[in-house]
Each structure stands twice: as structure tokens, then as C-alpha cells.
Chain A
């Protein structure tokens, strides 16, 4: 490839296209927002114009501040080509958008688009990308340079896999080519398993190819993060050791940096091998290499190479302070490591290897608290949604803090729910790991099982087990008798006041030894650093440099989980930026290594710690902060309010009293009553009988949920006493301490607002309307701005009610409210006194930075003195549609039907002058393939009785569009009565060929199935599950089905950047008088105005 020197860009401002990674899914999360933001900033530092494409509106990279032209457009070749045609970028940087970005770059290159528009590919060449991805070619290349790889064969059909097994025996590992997070792969122990897994794997592979490989189960899994520049200089940023040996995906493993059980010879052997590999592959930028290291022979095998930034590189960056994405970007522009400054020391160069004087532990966050019926076994396919990381001066401290940071209520290793398991169950978990293994190890140790025996069962290295054993013993000693020495030890080892209170049975007055903040400086203190990146240790020298400006602490949102995702990171980062603009020093405390907020470049002080009360208080006191802001970190940070207030920590923004009124059901109900605002009737039940009585008084359907049960079953709509009984059967026991909440279920349109209130004025940038009726969680429904079916009168009512609630609650800053419109009446579902999922979206598309407004309000400014306006802001002359994205393929055994319980992991945005166009783009961005072949195919429909009538119009449209409808008896007959042609197909009980056969053989390509049933055993469930597993789009709500056909029937406009949308709008708006800001005034702009192209 050509390597333009950076200086060439002096004459012409080079324009670089960056592809993001799209929606958050399991295996591809916030780490690419972190990498992408760093890349964009680095590109602009080097004088480039940045064109960014990403369909994910919750990201920080899609902010107008981050790139010169932001395209919130689908990540498809067609969409990219249209953008390239408009923008004519000089170059494309492909290695920062995860596997999605990489795959797209390869497709763009191979389809000739890059050549056609003369776009240079920066950094690692396509050839390398393909080589690393194609398992067969990769192995050949490794053998050619003398690097060992496990014996394997590449198969494109099942029989050759079976033949390989005949030679090598079992277990074998199946690894499909070109997939994310190991989709479709796995370890197989028998021919039957081999056939099943291989079929799934081949289907998941982009090129219908999979590798069948001999097993390395039980070897140590070690990763190296390597950087290479065009001058062939190579450095290792960091290595990492997985506590879970090979066999558990690194994304699901507990990972420690640096490695702890490798001798220097082993460390250097793998380091040299890494450099050998990265050279042979001609990587220019960052690269991740995974090794298996034999525990008895110091012999190694290469598992995989990722020639791009990754989850591991984000982890390595945060673990060491070395910004891999930034450096990789500069390398892609042609710089060499010895020319790039080390941003941490400011004096040395990027050409060095970080050395650290602390231990880093990452613990994965699994979604199984939400999905207790899912298959929780861990394997070669990733299942976690996020991770918590911690730094400590000892392994123990880092580990305990990481586990506490999961926000799952774990404050100790023992005394968890695992304690109830039998010896047999514990033994099973040790051998066949699940998300619970860590606690099973602790419980086994507590029961007196020896380290040797646990090591044998789990293949976990005794080094770690001894550490766990020490921790378990410490906990047991404290439980037996509270004493000073052990308490101090526990504090040094990262336990918090809550954990210690649980162990000794009383709240400790103060944690001793005192907190001491240590600096992350990449150099083990060898050089003075100007880093502002700290972690907490105990009883050592405190290195915190108190910021010169008055500090404010922003509490982050912790690990990514379903329901609390990257959108809160967006809010925290913007809060930090707003604080800085307001002349304050922003202190961020967070423990998620994937995020932008934990990039030390974002804040004035970064405290990398779990967001527990001890740590937040310590950060607040150490920085002499004026206050703590809780509204941006999601529900978990809001939950800190009470304890922090108790400790005398000043909360700024909505105060503890205000938060409490929104959070406490009774207080909130009283407030609504005072205001005369309706909410669905409901009551809490402390017994089954009471629940039944309440339900029959309210009248079915009702919505039930356990109150405050961590890891408990979620919310459900129940239609009759039978369903209520079966819900209660599987729910956690109802007690006076943990009542069941029973609400009247109100069917109707769901609308949602985000607002900022300052005590006098309210700012509402817009109102969202959901496509799916209430009953589908707001995070899982398609939502639209501006509203399409809401009358002006209703909008006015929404604004008035929002204002009234904010005023009554004493809100100072953000509030998010969800409503249901039932029979023309407005009911309030809930009010969240904090940022929300929709905040980044509405902020981006209206140009009104809600977080900045809220931050300034919290600091005492008034909205009327800001530039955003007040009241309901006039609607934008274009439409956006947010479409949720699910990771069901990776969550085996999980029911996929949309319900009040949130299930999606991410979201995309469609943006277009028309509603249908935006809808269409939204569906495409969410992964629906709108080709004739895929979508004028066969549609399998199965509609529940209650909705059969209502479904006819929609289904008629599918038929008219060209779909062949396939239906089981009931639906088939109803369709025939309505004159809609369909083919009849057997139900499962009617025998083959039946619906499941049609799905697995892929003779249908779209499924609409909204029948809810006795969950995991019903036909409906099996149909939905089979569709997901076969990669067939399956819709579970008629509303979604209707939206999809509307999208199919329409066309969408060409891509425009967000800047263009906003520029055109602002120009148009000023003409119409943007100054109209009286509360409650709604401008009736036609939602279908065309944006001039």
C-alpha cells in the first residue's frame, strides 16, 4: 500500500472515512465506540476531515463534535457506497469498527467500490484482514513461519467434519469463519453434537465455512496486544492471562493483566512469537493474538489473531493507560512509533512497552439475571454483555473490586445464592463452567474442598485457587469473629463497607486503612507522569493531584447490561464535557473498560473504581469536589443517592428527596394524586391470594413484577388467573419484604419524553411515539420522532403533565417519562429522574444537548439563559426511527417474544425525510435484508386468537407485496375466510413436515408469531427459537409486522450527514422563528416535509 507521509496533507485536507461497529450486540459492545472516538480525535489532531458512518445513535462517536460528517446510516455496502459517492473520502480506516467494520471494508474493497472512487485503505492491508479471518489460510501462514497451530481441517459440509473426527477423536472444536463472538461455534464431544454444531456453524458463517480443530481445552489462555508500524517496529502493550483456561471464550473469562503464572521465559517466548506473527501478517496498527500455553510443557499454540482493535485492546488500553486506538490510527496515517508522543508521560515516545505496578482484573457481566431459563454454560461462544474491571495493588484487591463492580449485589465471594447448591451441583459447575463458576469455587473452598481437587475438576491453575482460598478463609474468619486485623486486611483486599457489614453483622464506622489514590502512569513510576488516571488502594501514599478548578464527580454506569447500556456512557461523557465548559474540573468514576468515559482524555480526573458508595465518597473527598452528579449513570447511580446523602456527600442536580419521590411507588402515587394525573391502577401483593384478589378487582390483563428482586424474574403481562398462577409458581417467593406488584395492564400507544427542568422552565426537545403498543418494553419497541399519530392537543397535555411532574418532584435536571394513551386518556407509566436511552438520540437529531443543559441546570444556571430554548421545541422536518437489535442468536434458550421485560442489547437509527423511509432505513440498519429474494419469499404466520381479526389488514398487505403466506390451521382458515391465499402447514403435533421443519430447512424466510404460550415448552416458543437459530427474521408483535410491511412498500432517500440535517433545519427554523419558546406551544410542522437534497 501507499504510505503517504502525514505532512502531505498540508496542502489538501485529507478526508478519512471511519466505519463504526453498529448496534451493541453480544461480542461487539462499547469498546468500538471507545476506539472509534479515539480514532476520530487522532485523525483530526493530524489535520484530517473525518467522515463517520455508524448506525448506532447511542454512541459518542456519532456526535457532531466528534466527526466532521456523521452518517447515522445502515452499515451495508450499498449505503456505504452512496456515502462514499457523496463524500469522496481520500481514505478509509477499516480496523476500528470491530468485525463489522472490517467485514465491510473487505466487501467494499472486493466489490471494487474503493477502486472506483479511488479510496485508499489505511493501515493493515485487506490481504492481512482476510488472511487472519480465513482460518485455513491463516493456519497455513502460521505453519510457514514456524508458529504452531492446532491440527484442523476446513469444512464446508458436515461429512468432512465427521471424517476428521474419525482420525483425531473427540473432543473437537468447531469454529465458523467470519462471525462475531464465536457465533455458531462450540466444543463437541460426540458425532451427534458434531453434526448439530457444524450445521449451525456453517449457517452462521458469512462464507459457509468452518474449522474443525483438535481441542486445547484446559491449556492456559493468554493474550498479547501488539502494535506494529510501517517501519516494522513492534511493541507489546500488554499481555493478559485468563483465569478460565482455554475452552471459555476470553470475552466470558475472568482475565488478569499482566499474566501472573508465566515465567519470564514463557512471557518472552510468547512475546517473540507475537512479533513474529504480526510481522508475517504485515499488520500496521494494533493486533490481538490469543495463545494456548500448555501447563506442564511450556509449549504453545496460536488460537487466533485479530488484526484490529478489539475488546481486548480496549481492556489493555485501560489496564496500562496506553491508548492503542489512538496510536494505531496515527500509524495508519503513516507515522512510526518513535515519532508519536506518549500521551501519558508527555515526554517519552509511544515506542516503549508499558510496565505496570498494579494488577488488573476483568470479570464478565452476563445477562442471566434477566434470563434464568437461558443456557448458562460457557464455551467458545461469547455470552456476556459487558464487563467490570478493577485495578489493585494486589490481585485480591483487584479481583474483589471487579466482582463488586458487576452491580449484581455481590459484596463477598461466599454467602451468595450458590451457597444453596448441593455438592453435586457445585461439582458440575466446576467441571462444566457457567457464569456461576467463580462462586462455586468459593463455595467449594468454604465447604473444605482442597485446592488440588478443585484444580483437577476445573483445570483452573492452583495459583488462583490459593488466592481464592485466602479470600474465603478471610471471609469465614470475619464471620466467626469480628477482629481488627482481618478487617484491615479485608479493606486492603477491596471489600466495601456493605460486604464487611454482611460478614461481621454490623456496619463499620469507617474503613481502615484510609483510601489512597494511585496513579496509572504506564511506567511503574519510573518517570514522572502527567496522568490524571487513578485507582484506589488502601493505606499507601496518596497521589491524587487535586484539580485546580472546583471539581464535580460524575458517577458512571458500570458494566454494560441489558437495560443499562452505552447510552449512559454517552451522558456521562457529555456531562464531563459540559462541566469543563462551565469551568469545572470533571471527575469521572466508572469501572467499565470498554467505554469512552473511562478514557483518561475525557475527564480532568478519572477514578477507575466500582461505583459503590465507598469509592464515590472517596473520590468526592479526595478531589475536594463540590458535589456528585448521579443522573447520568443510569439506575444504579440513582440508587446511590440515599447512602451518599447519609454520608454527607452533596448531590447536585435533583436531590435525594426529589429522587426518592420518583423512585418510591407510594410517594410517587401521592404526588400524582395531588396533581390529578392518572396512572394505571395497581397494588402490591404480599401473598398469592392477595395477588389473585387484586388482579380480579383490577380486571385481567394485569402486569405483574416482583419488587426489588435482584436476579429475579421480570415483568409479565398475564391474561387470566391460570397464567397468574403459573407466573407465581416460577417467581421468587412473595413475602411482605418482597411483594409482587400487580398493575392494570392498559393497552394503547406508548409515548416517551425526555426533559430538563430548572425549577422554572422546562425544556422538551421532542416526544417519541412507539410503534409497538404499551406492553413491549420501551427499550425493545421501535420508536419514532417526531410523533406521527399524536394530536396537538395530546402533545400539549404531555408537555403540561411533564412540567407538572417535574415541578412536583423538584427535579433539577433530567427527567424521562413514559406514558400510555389508553382510550384517549393519558396515563403515566413511570418517571425516571435521570438520563435515559432516548437522551442521546433526541439530543443528536435536534442539536439540543440535553445533558449539557441538565449539567448547567445542576450547576445553578437557568434554561432561559441558555441557547436551547424552553418548552416543547418545534419538531424537526425529518423523521427518525429507532429500531432495537437483539442478541438472541447468542442467548440460547431465551424466549424472544417482546414483552415488558427488556431483551434488546442495542439499537440503530433510521433517518429520512419521510416516516416510511426512516422506518425502512431503521430495519435495514437492524439487519433486515431487503432484497427481492429474501423478502418476496415465504412468510410463516401464526397469530394468537385475540389478534387474528386485527392481523388481517397487515397480512393482506404482505400477500399483496408478493409473499406466499404459510399458516397453521387456525390462521390458515381465518385467512381463507378473509380471502387471503395461504398454504397450510402442520403444527408440530400434527407430524412432519411441520412448521419447525420449514424453519430449519429454511423454506420460509420470515416468521410472524405473536402467540404467547407456556414459555419454554410451547410450540410458539419453539418456532420463535428455531427461527432465531436458523437466522430467519421473526417478528413477535403485529405492530412490528405492520411497520415492516410499510417499510417494504416504501423507498428511502439518499444518505445525508447529521450536520446536513441539522444545518438545513436550523436554517429553516430560524426563518420560522425559533424564538417561540412559550411552554406548551406546539408548532404544527408537517412531519413529511422533504429536506432539500
Chain B
């Protein structure tokens, strides 16, 4: 058994069993409350730069299928797990989670009191941390963490997971350009399944390049980090306002808010899981949603042109808005689910119908 620790910037230390080669990983310690969907979460680009704690204690039970992945590789910096399954059982399983994490080079800490980790994060707020595996990494963890805290930045997270080239997906329906800030495969799959023709473009594509392709609509994808780290993208969106229908999900929603003149801010410890209740202010109905974000749009800062459409029932934060005149609509949560509930899946077809 190899020792491992999770050391938080406030000095709190959790001990467990280290998984994988001796190494350490730095990042913001966060927790995910979904009871299933670890493969999706570990490969979700929005988790880039994060040390992900699973609040559910048994992770890896049904193995790794490969087909549930949301990105070509694992995106988290490290994983913190109470009990990892070494002998999964599922007809789709191609690999067990511990082996896969090692293959992916993701250090992990297991046998940890994850509930206490979660409480520490909740009480402190999102916090920098280091996950160290092996004696050596543990010995230097404190020093490494201090250095990393000094240099901490979210800049570059999007670039680390977003496409740098243009990718296209055929379809008979409307042409949608997806601005990739760290898009999930489920979004691509959902849109193509509904017949859309997709062009996936880098997050720093100039507005004119987009207009040149004459899309029917633009979808700004989710992604990791602070939206204010992407001034180029915000500028691009500002130029496109009024020129074509624009939709945004998660980071995309925040970027659009900024482009329209609203403000964003960092949540105390984010929303990450599949059980967040969101009220649709237009219909009055409640959706149970999949979420994964550390930043949010300040509902009070929405300019007169924007109308809040969705609100989180737990903490009252903004979960979506629409433009009063222009075909602009956004969602903070993930209608593509994966992982999580698909209560909001209908948004994709609604958007496609609206532009068809």
C-alpha cells in the first residue's frame, strides 16, 4: 500500500492510499455529488485543473466503458475517492477504474474520508490543494502547494482542453457552429442526433470567420475556469450579438452574460452534481439538472435587455437568461446531462426548431 495525502491550502491534511506512480497533482479541490457518472465526470473538460472529490463513497463499480467519456482523455488533475472498485461488473466495462486512472496518468487518493473532505471544502470555500502519492511527493507537498498557490491561475485551462482545429459533423438540419471552450461529447452527440450540421471551432475564433461560414446559430460550449479569462471570446460574442441566434451552456452562458454587459463572480464552492433543482421562471416548473461550475452570472447585474429565465432553488443563483429582443438564450446547467438527469434535454430540440 502506497501512502498518499490531500493537503489543502489551509493546512488541513487527509491521508489515504495513493494510486498510481509517485506523483503529485495541484488544483482547486472541489466535490461532485452525483452517485453515478464517474467516467463522464473524470473526462469532463470543465474539470480541468480540479482535484475532484467524489462524495459518493463507492466509485468504479461498473468499470470504464470508453463510450461514456466526454473527452479524448481524462481531464481532472486528480481524484479523491473513499472506496475504489477493483473488480467492476458491467457488460459495457472494458477496464477497471484504478487501471484506467493509472493509464491516464491521473493520480488518485483512495480510502479517504471524503465526507470530511467535502465538509472542509464547503466550510472553507473552493480551495487550492495538492494531491501527493508516494513518500517523496508527500515530503515536498507543503512546499509545492505554497508555490502553486502563489502562482495559481485559471488562465490557460480552456486552451488545455479546447480544440485548436476546426471539426465538422455532417447533418441534414440547420448548421450550428459550436464554439469549443471544452465541449462535451454529449453535446455534439445530442445535436447531431437531432440532425444538426456542426462546425466545432476554437474558442478564440474571430467573429468574421464565424460569419463567413454563414451558420444558422452559434452555441457557446461549457468549459473550465473563470469566464473573464477569455476576453477574446467575449469580444467575439459582443460583435456577433444581433447577427445570429446564440445559445450558451455553462461557461458559454457566462461568456454571453459578460458580452451583454452582466457580471460574473466565483461561487463559494460551486455546483457540481446531478441533483440541482432549477426553476423555470417562464413556466414555473422545476427541473432537476446536471451542473458543474464554480463561477456564476450575477442575476442582479443582468442589463435591462436580458431577462432571467432560470433560477437555482437551493441558493437563488441565476441559471439562465434570454435576450428580450434578440434570439439569445443561455443555460447555466447542462441539458446534455452525461452525467446526470436529462430533464432539460428538450432544450436542444427547442433551439434547433427555433432556427430551422
B173 in the interface (beta carbon within 8 A): no
Contacts of B275 in A (CB 8 A): 352-355
Chain A to chain B contacts (Cβ below 8 Å), 25 pairs: A232-B285, A236-B341, A258-B36, A259-B36, A262-B36, A263-B68, A264-B34, A264-B36, A264-B37, A268-B342, A271-B341, A272-B341, A336-B286, A338-B279, A348-B314, A349-B313, A354-B275, A355-B273, A359-B58, A395-B58, A462-B87, A525-B118, A527-B314, A540-B115, A541-B116
Q: Is the CB of A231 within 8 A of B285?
A: yes
How far does the alpha carbon of A462 sit from the alpha carbon of B279 in the complex, in Å? 41
Q: Is the CB of B37 within 8 A of A349?
A: no
Binary B-proximity of A223-254 (CB < 8 A = 1, otherwise 0): 00000000111011000000000000000000
Contacts of B313 in A (CB 8 A): 338, 348-349, 351-352
Tell me the residues in window 1-54 of chain B with beta carbons closer than 8 Å to chain A beta carbons.
Answer: 31, 33-37, 39-40
Q: Is the CB of B338 within 8 A of A358?
A: no
B317 in the interface (beta carbon within 8 A): no
Which residue from chain B places its CB closest to the CB of A348 in the assembled complex?
B314
A267 in the interface (beta carbon within 8 A): yes
B335 in the interface (beta carbon within 8 A): no
How far does the alpha carbon of A270 sit from the alpha carbon of B56 in the complex, in Å? 20
Q: Is the CB of B113 within 8 A of A541?
A: yes
Q: Which of B88-96, B158-166, B235-243, B250-258 is near enough to bind chain A?
A: B88-96
Which residue from chain B places its CB closest to the CB of A540 in the assembled complex?
B113
Q: Answer whether A462 and B89 are a contact pair too, CB < 8 Å, given A268-B342, A351-B286.
A: yes
Contacts of A233 in B (CB 8 A): 285-286
Across the interface, A355 reaches (CB within 8 A) one of B35, B82, B122, B337, namely B35
Tell me the residues in window 522-561 of chain A with beta carbons closer than 8 Å to chain B beta carbons.
Answer: 523-528, 540-541
**Chain A nearest Cβ from B155, distance in angstroms:** 28
Across the interface, A352 reaches (CB within 8 A) one of B68, B83, B276, B339, namely B276
Contacts of A357 in B (CB 8 A): 55-57, 114-115, 118
How far does the alpha carbon of A1036 sit from the alpha carbon of B90 in the complex, in Å? 54
Contacts of A12 in B (CB 8 A): none
Binary B-proximity of A342-375 (CB < 8 A = 1, otherwise 0): 0000001101111111110000000000000000
Q: Answer whether A541 and B91 are a contact pair too, CB < 8 Å, given A261-B62, A355-B35.
A: no
How far does the alpha carbon of A297 sit from the alpha carbon of B85 in the complex, in Å? 22
Q: Is the CB of B83 within 8 A of A264?
A: no
Binary A-proximity of B265-308 (CB < 8 A = 1, otherwise 0): 00000000111110100001110100000000000000000000
Binary A-proximity of B68-81 (CB < 8 A = 1, otherwise 0): 10000000000000
B119 in the interface (beta carbon within 8 A): yes
How far does the alpha carbon of A518 sit from the alpha carbon of B340 in the complex, in Å? 26
How far does the alpha carbon of A527 sit from the alpha carbon of B277 in the complex, in Å? 14
B61 in the interface (beta carbon within 8 A): yes
Contacts of B288 in A (CB 8 A): 235-236, 352-353
Contacts of A394 in B (CB 8 A): 57-58, 82-83
Contacts of A262 in B (CB 8 A): 36, 62
Contacts of B31 in A (CB 8 A): 524-526
How far does the alpha carbon of A990 sit from the alpha carbon of B342 in the complex, in Å? 69
A569 in the interface (beta carbon within 8 A): no
Q: Is the CB of A356 within 8 A of B35?
A: yes
Which residue from chain A places its CB closest to the CB of B271 in the assembled complex?
A526
Q: Is the CB of A352 within 8 A of B113?
A: no
How far does the alpha carbon of A265 sit from the alpha carbon of B185 in the complex, in Å? 14
Q: Answer whether A263 and B89 are a contact pair too, CB < 8 Å, given A351-B277, A355-B33.
A: no
B65 in the interface (beta carbon within 8 A): yes
How far does the alpha carbon of A348 sit from the alpha carbon of B271 in the complex, in Å? 14
Q: Answer whether A261 and B89 are a contact pair too, CB < 8 Å, given A355-B55, A355-B56, A395-B58.
A: yes
Across the interface, B286 reaches (CB within 8 A) one of A268, A338, A393, A527, namely A338
A189 in the interface (beta carbon within 8 A): no
Tell me the residues in window 570-615 of chain A with beta carbons closer than 8 Å to chain B beta carbons.
Answer: none
Which residue from chain A places its CB closest to the CB of B67 in the assembled complex?
A265
How far does the alpha carbon of A355 sit from the alpha carbon of B288 in the complex, in Å? 12
Contacts of B118 in A (CB 8 A): 357, 524-526
Q: Is the CB of A463 within 8 A of B61?
A: yes
Count of interface residues, chain B, beta-carbon cutoff 8 Å: 51
Q: Answer whether A463 and B65 are a contact pair too, CB < 8 Å, given A264-B37, A338-B286.
A: no
**What 14 additional pairs, Cβ within 8 angstroms, besides A231-B284, A526-B31?**
A264-B36, A264-B40, A264-B340, A267-B36, A298-B91, A336-B286, A337-B286, A352-B276, A356-B56, A462-B89, A524-B33, A524-B56, A524-B273, A541-B113
Contacts of A540 in B (CB 8 A): 113, 115-116
**Chain B nearest Cβ from A245, distance in angstroms:** 13
Across the interface, A261 reaches (CB within 8 A) one of B33, B90, B276, B339, namely B90
Q: Answer whether A338 and B314 are a contact pair too, CB < 8 Å, given A264-B338, A525-B119, A541-B116.
A: no
Q: Is the CB of B341 within 8 A of A268?
A: yes
Q: Is the CB of A541 within 8 A of B115?
A: yes
**Chain A nearest Cβ from B167, distance in angstroms:** 24
Q: Is the CB of A298 within 8 A of B56?
A: no
How far does the alpha carbon of A518 sit from the alpha carbon of B57 in the complex, in Å? 13
Across the interface, B277 reaches (CB within 8 A) one of A275, A349, A393, A525, namely A349
How far does the alpha carbon of A525 sit from the alpha carbon of B123 in the complex, in Å? 10
Contacts of B115 in A (CB 8 A): 357, 393, 518, 524-525, 540-541
Contacts of A393 in B (CB 8 A): 57, 82-83, 115
Q: Is the CB of B91 within 8 A of A268?
A: no
Contacts of A267 in B (CB 8 A): 35-37
A428 in the interface (beta carbon within 8 A): no
**Chain B nearest Cβ from A257, distance in angstroms:** 10
A192 in the interface (beta carbon within 8 A): no
How far does the alpha carbon of A478 sit from the alpha carbon of B56 in the complex, in Å? 29
Q: Answer whether A261 and B61 are a contact pair too, CB < 8 Å, given A268-B342, A297-B91, A525-B122.
A: yes
A296 in the interface (beta carbon within 8 A): yes
Which residue from chain B places its CB closest to the CB of A338 in the assembled complex?
B286
Which residue from chain B places its CB closest to the CB of A271 in the assembled complex?
B341
Q: Is the CB of B91 within 8 A of A296?
A: yes
A1042 in the interface (beta carbon within 8 A): no
**Chain B nearest Cβ from A282, distance in angstroms:** 16
Contacts of B91 in A (CB 8 A): 295-298
**Chain A nearest Cβ from B107, distance in angstroms:** 22
Contacts of A232 in B (CB 8 A): 285
Smallest CB-CB A-B distances: 8 pairs: A264-B37, A524-B55, A463-B89, A353-B275, A264-B36, A525-B118, A264-B339, A233-B286
Q: Is the CB of A358 within 8 A of B276?
A: no
Contacts of A297 in B (CB 8 A): 91
A716 in the interface (beta carbon within 8 A): no
Contacts of A275 in B (CB 8 A): 343
Which residue from chain A places its CB closest to the CB of B116 in the assembled complex?
A541
Contacts of A259 in B (CB 8 A): 36
Contacts of B341 in A (CB 8 A): 236, 268, 271-272, 353
A700 in the interface (beta carbon within 8 A): no
A466 in the interface (beta carbon within 8 A): yes
Q: Is the CB of A268 within 8 A of B337?
A: yes
A461 in the interface (beta carbon within 8 A): yes
Interface centre among B40, B89, B284, B340 (most CB of A within 10 A): B89
Q: Is the CB of A461 within 8 A of B89?
A: yes
A707 in the interface (beta carbon within 8 A): no
Which residue from chain B places its CB closest to the CB of A238 in the assembled complex?
B35
Binary A-proximity of B86-128 (CB < 8 A = 1, otherwise 0): 0111111000000000000000000001111011001000000
**Chain A nearest Cβ from B274, distance in angstroms:** 8
**Chain B nearest Cβ from A45, distance in angstroms:** 21
How far does the alpha carbon of A525 sit from the alpha carbon of B277 in the complex, in Å? 16
Contacts of A265 in B (CB 8 A): 68
How far does the alpha carbon of A709 sit from the alpha carbon of B329 in the complex, in Å? 71
Contacts of A338 in B (CB 8 A): 277, 279, 286, 313
How far does the alpha carbon of A943 sit from the alpha carbon of B163 in the complex, in Å? 90
Q: Is the CB of B337 within 8 A of A523?
A: no
How far does the alpha carbon of A232 sit from the alpha carbon of B114 in the complex, in Å? 35
Binary B-proximity of A799-823 (CB < 8 A = 1, otherwise 0): 0000000000000000000000000
Binary A-proximity of B309-349 (CB < 8 A = 1, otherwise 0): 00001100000000000000000000001111111000000
